[in-house]
Chain A
C-alpha cells in the first residue's frame, strides 16, 4: 500500500484542478458561442424561432444537469460519435451554459429602452448591424454581474462530470479517498480549492453590481 502524506494529497488535488479550470473555460466559451445563437433565436422577429429559443432555455433550466450529462454520455454514441468522458462533459456543460447565458443576455436586451432600436434604425442600420453596434454591447455591459455569477455556478457544476468519469478535481479526490480513507481531509480540501476558485469571482461579480447603475 502506498503511504500518502498530507502534501501528497494536496499536490495531487491541485494537479487535478487544472482539468476543472480547463473544463470551466471551455464550457463558458462554448456556452457563450451557442448562447449567442440561442439569444438571436429568442429575440428574433420570427415567432417559431422565438418559440424554439424559449423552449430550449426552459428544457435546460427545467431538468437536472446530471441527467443532461448522462443523455450526452449515452446519446452521443448512438449518433455515431466516439464516447469519451471529456467530450460528453464539455458538450453537456456547453449546452447547459448556453441556455443560462442566453437567458441572462435576453434580460439585458429587454432592459434597454426601445428608443435604442429606433435610433439604430433611423441611422439606417440593418437589424444585424443594430444588434452588433448598438444593442449587444450595452446588453453585455449591464449583464456582466449575472454572467460572472453564472461562471461561478458553472465552475461548481463541473464537479458533476466526475460522475460520468471525467478526471477532474472531485473524481481525483474520490480516488485519493479510496486509497487513504481520510474523507474528512480530502473532501475538506476539495471544498477549499473550489472556494479559492469561486470566491474571488463572487466578489468580482458583487463589485460589478455596485458599479453598474440600476436602470
Chain B
C-alpha cells in the first residue's frame, strides 16, 4: 500500500477549522432560536379556531418533511432570486435551516401541548388568567419539559445536516474542510478530522442543553 496518513498540515489549519466550527455553531444557534419560536407559533396555529391557518401549517409541514434539505436550500438560494428575492449565503442558510427544522419541531411542540392535561388550562382560567397568560405561563413550560429530549435531538440532527450549506459557499466547518483538502491534497485526513469535530460538537451540544434544561425547566429533564 503506497499511501501513508499525514496529519502534518493540521498545525497550520487549526485556525481555519476553529473559524469554521464557530460559524457552524452560529448557524445552529440562530436556527434553534428562530426555529423553536416559529414552531411554537405554528403549533398553536395548528390548534387554532381558524381552518385556513390549520391547513396552511399542515401543508407547510408536509412539504418540508417530504423534500430533501439540500433541495430546499438550492431552491431558496438559487431559485428565489429569479422572483426578485436575493439572499446572502449566510442568510439563505439560516432561513433554509430554520424553515426545515421548524417543520419537525412544530410536530414535537404540538405533541407536547397535547400532553399537558386539560385541567391545567381550566384551573388557570378559573384563577382569572387571560388566554395568552395561560398559554405562556401554564401550558408552554409544561409542554417544553416533556418534549425537551426530542428537541435536543432535532437540534443536533439539524447541526449535522448544516454541513450541506457548504454547497452555497457559507464558510462553516464542512466548507473549511473543502478548502483545506483542495490546498493540502490530504482529503481523507481532512474529512476525518472534521468528522471527529462534528462528533465532538454534537456531544457538546447535547451536554450543554441537558445542563441548561435542568437549570431552566427544573429537575427531571434528561
Q: Which segment, of A31-39, A46-54, A56-64, A131-139, faces chain B?
A: A56-64
Q: List A144-192 residues whose CB lies under 8 Å from chain B.
A: 152, 156-160, 162-163, 170, 173-174, 177, 182-184, 186-188, 190-191
Q: Choose one: A75, A80, A194, A199; the contact of B71 (CB below 8 Å).
A: A194
How distant is the Cα of A152 from the Cα of B66 in the complex, in angstroms?
7
Checking B3, B74, B164 against A187 with a beta-carbon cut-off of 8 angstroms, the contacting residue is: B74
Name the one of B66, B82, B194, B198 contacting A194, with C-beta atoms under 8 angstroms: B66
A160 contacts B188, CB within 8 Å?
A: no
Among B62-94, those with CB < 8 Å from A are 62-63, 65-72, 74-75, 78-83
Say whether B134 faces chain A, with CB atoms less than 8 Å apart: no
Which of A70, A78, A156, A160 is in CB contact (< 8 Å) with B67? A156
Q: Which residues of B contact A182 (CB under 8 A)?
A: 82
* Inter-subunit contact A63/B199 (CB<8 Å): yes
A157–B70 Cα gap in the complex (Å)? 9
Pairwise interchain contact A160-B164, C-beta atoms closer than 8 A: yes
Q: List B contacts of A158 (CB < 8 A).
A: 68
Contacts of B166 in A (CB 8 A): 66
B68, A59: Cβ atoms closer than 8 Å: no
Answer yes or no: A65 CB below 8 A from chain B CBs.
Answer: yes
The reply to whether the CB of A10 lies closer than 8 angstroms to some CB of chain B is no
Question: Is B203 interfacial (CB-CB < 8 Å)?
Answer: yes
- CB of B135 to closest CB in A, whole Å: 27
Any A CB within 8 A of the CB of B187: yes
Query: Across the interface, do A67 and B71 meet the contact criterion of CB distance under 8 Å?
Result: no
| 17 CB < 8 A contacts A-B | A59-B199, A62-B160, A63-B195, A66-B163, A159-B68, A160-B68, A163-B167, A170-B68, A174-B74, A183-B81, A183-B82, A184-B82, A187-B74, A190-B71, A195-B66, A198-B67, A199-B66
Residues of chain A lying within 8 A (CB to CB) of residue B82: 182-184
Question: Quick one: closest B residue to A68, CB to CB?
Answer: B195
Which B21-71 residues sit within 8 Å CB-CB of chain A? 62-63, 65-71
Does B154 reach chain A (CB closer than 8 Å)? no
Whether a CB of chain A sits under 8 angstroms from the CB of B192 is yes
Does B114 sit at the interface, judged by CB under 8 A? no
How many Å lie between the Cα of A63 and that of B163 in the bound state?
10
A64 adjacent to B68 (CB under 8 Å): no
The 8 A-B residue pairs with the shortest CB-CB distance in the complex, in nearest-first order: A64-B163, A183-B78, A159-B68, A198-B66, A74-B187, A156-B68, A67-B195, A184-B79
B122 within 8 A of A: no
A71: Cβ under 8 A from any B Cβ: yes
Alpha-carbon distance A202/B62, docked complex (angstroms): 9
Chain B 169-222 interface residues, beta-carbon cutoff 8 Å to A: 174, 177, 181, 187-188, 191-192, 194-195, 198-199, 202-203
Binary interface profile of B, 102-132, with partner A (CB < 8 Å = 1, else 0)? 0000000000000000000000000000000
B14, CB-defined interface residue at 8 Å: no
Q: What CA separation (Å) do A74 and B193 show in the bound complex?
A: 13
> Given the complex, which residues of B lie within 8 Å of A67, measured CB to CB?
163, 174, 177, 191, 194-195, 198
Asked if B174 and A159 make an inter-chain contact with CB atoms under 8 angstroms apart, the answer reads: no
B1 at the interface (CB under 8 A from A): yes
Q: Are A64 and B160 in contact (CB under 8 A)?
A: yes
A65–B191 alpha-carbon span in the complex (Å): 12
Residues of A within 8 A of B192 (CB): 71
In the complex the two chains form, what is the Cα distance from A75 to B187 in whole Å?
A: 9
